[in-house]
Amino acid sequence: MAELDRTKRHAPAPKDWTYAPAPESRDVVRIAERYGNFVGGEWVEASETYATISPSSEEPLATVAQGTEADVDAAVGAARDAFANGWSELSGSERAKYLFRIARILQERSREFAVLESLNGGKPIKESRDVDLPLAAAHFFYYAGWADKLEYAFPNRRPRPVGVAGQIIPWNFPLLMLAWKVAPALACGNTVVLKPAETTPLTALLFCDVLRQAELPAGVVNIVTGDGRTGAALVEHDGVDKIAFTGSTEVGKAIQRRLAGTGKRLTLELGGKAANIVFDDSALDQAVEGIVNGIYFNQGHVCCAGSRLFVQESIYEPLVEKLKRRLTTLRVGDPLDKNTDVGAINSAMQLEKISSLVQSGVDEGAEIYQPPCRLPEKGYWFAPTVFTNVAQSYRIAQEEIFGPVLSVLAFRTPDEAVEKANNTPYGLSAGVWTEKGSRILWMAQRMRAGVVWANTFNRFDPTSPFGGYKESGFGREGGLHGLEPYLRFDDGNES
């Protein structure tokens, strides 16, 4: 005891609480030098290519295909063949077996996928490991469960697959968005041509390996990489029966115009500018955690990010004070370090967009706060940012920034909170923090948002439908609702 006491007295107090590096090993994943497109179960050499990089170091990771119209045509052809030659006729329980297999393989190989996701996209490993991968596997498990129960899901309506689905996904949750798209499409008996985002193709390409391991019949899932031109070729292709798109409102609108009158089905999941509303009776420390998770999770590259914080006037000062203090503890840096909270910005282009919107906030008169933090020299980085003194008319309160930037505004009454929250062209998500259950329900009924979180934020579950109002798009992904876009019904009602 005496010994122990002595040691304690002499133990030097740590000067600060910095963390030792805790890097995840890159060796768990093998990246090929060069990838083609995955068409009809085979790798097809690319005629045009580009290099995909790591946004945290700008180091090239692999050469990938810039898919051409001919590549898209071959992939759609393979998907049509697979649809006609067996897949659409398989029993639901047979299709489910493949989906269960894919889910299990994703779980088994999750470490490999998590490292690759963080390398190619810049998100912290603790997020790809604890959020993206478990959720991607959960989506396959969940939709595997529906595959043989479609008749029960839609009683008396005789559900049938739609055909070939063209799926275009963004770079913020590359593998998870793939799972959101591919799992329900296959569960319903469709085949797929998927185009990953140009900055993050690698986990989708590794996924082709999983498809082979699961012995999914050739052509059921085809993957063509490339930029918006490849996406446009997929949208235009006559052999595609349905387009599912997640990305910017601008491109979503263009796709909708393009498809008008063609009879092709369309679902759009677009941008957002979510309100996160904190009432004076809420648990403030818990709310601060939710605010941080709402806007700094995945560097704010989240369509449903809580980018507009509305604080009830009586608690405005203490809450902002707590929030700023919490920001000083966020660790920004190497995505592969297990202690990192905020990783790299996904691309030079996105960094440019964030920087210019933040500059507009300063120019328009908002007050900026950024905690002291040293950003790495190489790569694309942006410090967590809070704006106070924000007017609703400022661009930072109106436009989607898609970065780690929060605008704080105040309100006095619940009515005022609702009015301000709904004052946006978007309507994807919202958050309410209060101790009163009745107020949660009152708010949820009035807010024009597809998802309303109460005393939490950015919570996802495959059983829960997700999607927007207004310029955030239409159609739902997840849950029972997420099956409908991939089915036609013999009763004549499309959905």
> Which residues are known to be catalytic?
269, 303
Q: Which is nearer to ligand NAI, 170 or 384 (CB)?
A: 170
Least distance CB 441 / ligand NAI (angstroms): 27
Which one of the spans 32-40, 134-142, 241-249, 335-343 is the region binding ligand NAI (CB under 6 A)?
A: 241-249
Least distance CB 255 / ligand NAI (angstroms): 6
**Which of 227, 281, 289, 364 forms a contact with ligand NAI (CB under 6 A)?**
227
| Listed residue (375, 392, 204, 206) closest to 308, CA to CA | 392
Which one of the spans 154-162, 231-239, 305-313, 319-327 is the region binding ligand NAI (CB under 6 A)?
A: 231-239
| Listed residue (34, 58, 75, 94) closest to 215, CA to CA | 94
Contact characters 118-157, ligand NAI, x per CB under 6 A: ----------------------------------------
Which one of the spans 61-69, 88-96, 136-144, 163-171 is the region binding ligand NAI (CB under 6 A)?
A: 163-171
Question: Among all chains, which residue has been given the structure tokens 């003194």?
Answer: 389
In three-state secondary structure terms, 366 is: coil
Least distance CB 486 / ligand NAI (angstroms): 19
Q: Which is nearer to ligand NAI, 169 or 214 (CB)?
A: 169
Which one of the spans 213-221, 223-231, 311-319, 374-382 is the region binding ligand NAI (CB under 6 A)?
A: 223-231
The full 3-state SS of 289-315, as one line of letters, equals HHHHHHHHHHHHCCCCCCCEEEEEHHH
Q: Counting contacts by CB under 6 A, is residue 254 touching ligand NAI?
A: yes
Spatial distance between the Cα atoms of 301 and 171, rounded to a whole number of angstroms? 9
**Which of 402, 433, 466, 486 forms a contact with ligand NAI (CB under 6 A)?**
402
Which one of the spans 130-138, 150-158, 250-258, 317-325 is the region binding ligand NAI (CB under 6 A)?
A: 250-258
Q: Which is nearer to ligand NAI, 255 or 323 (CB)?
A: 255
Q: Counting contacts by CB under 6 A, is residue 197 touching ligand NAI?
A: yes
Spatial distance between the Cα atoms of 273 and 310, rounded to a whole number of angstroms? 12
Q: Counting contacts by CB under 6 A, is residue 218 touching ligand NAI?
A: no
Strand locations in 178-239 (E): 191-195, 221-223
Q: Counting contacts by CB under 6 A, is residue 202 touching ligand NAI?
A: no
Spatial distance between the Cα atoms of 51 and 49, rounded to a whole number of angstroms? 7
Q: Which residue(s) pair with 221 in the sheet? A: 192
**Which of 96, 232, 357, 483 forms a contact with ligand NAI (CB under 6 A)?**
232
Least distance CB 412 / ligand NAI (angstroms): 31
**Host H or E run for residue 323:** helix 316-327
Q: Which amino acid is at 211?
A: L
Q: Which of residues 257-276 bind ligand NAI (CB under 6 A)?
A: 269-271
Which one of the spans 51-59, 145-153, 224-232, 430-438 is the region binding ligand NAI (CB under 6 A)?
A: 224-232
Q: Which two tokens stand for residue 61?
A: 């990771």
Which one of the spans 33-41, 195-203, 381-389, 450-458 is the region binding ligand NAI (CB under 6 A)?
A: 195-203
Q: Which is nearer to ligand NAI, 258 or 439 (CB)?
A: 258
Spatial distance between the Cα atoms of 33 and 48, rounded to a whole number of angstroms? 15
Strand locations in 196-240 (E): 221-223
Rg (CA), the chain: 23
Contact characters 331-370, ligand NAI, x per CB under 6 A: -------------------x--x-----------------
Spatial distance between the Cα atoms of 399 and 397, rounded to a whole number of angstroms? 6
Least distance CB 270 / ligand NAI (angstroms): 5
8 Å CB contact between 225 and 133: no
Compute how many residues bind ligand NAI; rule: CB under 6 A: 26
Q: Is 183 exposed, middle or buried (0-12, 13-18, 19+ CB in 10 A)?
A: buried
Least distance CB 202 / ligand NAI (angstroms): 14
Q: What is the DSSP secondary-structure string of 134-199?
A: HHHHHHHHHHHHHTT-HHHHSTTS-EEE-SEEEEE--SSSHHHHHHHHHHHHHHTT-EEEEE--TT
Q: Which is nearer to ligand NAI, 143 or 171 (CB)?
A: 171
Q: Is 93 exposed, middle or buried (0-12, 13-18, 19+ CB in 10 A)?
A: exposed
**Host H or E run for residue 350:** helix 348-364
H helical segments located in 383-494: 395-398, 414-421, 437-446
Q: Which is nearer to ligand NAI, 190 or 230 (CB)?
A: 230
Q: Which of residues 411-430 bind ligand NAI (CB under 6 A)?
A: none
Q: Provide the sign of the torsion angle of the four alpha carbons 489, 167, 102, 209, taken in this order.
A: positive
| Listed residue (159, 184, 200) closest to 56, CA to CA | 200
Q: Which is nearer to ligand NAI, 104 or 395 (CB)?
A: 395
**Which of 96, 99, 162, 303 forms a contact with ligand NAI (CB under 6 A)?**
303
Spatial distance between the Cα atoms of 293 and 305, rounded to a whole number of angstroms? 9
8 Å CB contact between 224 and 230: yes
Q: Counting contacts by CB under 6 A, is residue 390 touching ligand NAI?
A: no
**Can you give the binding site for ligand NAI, defined by CB under 6 A?**
168-170, 172, 195, 197-198, 227-228, 231-232, 235, 246-248, 251, 254-255, 269-271, 303, 350, 353, 400, 402
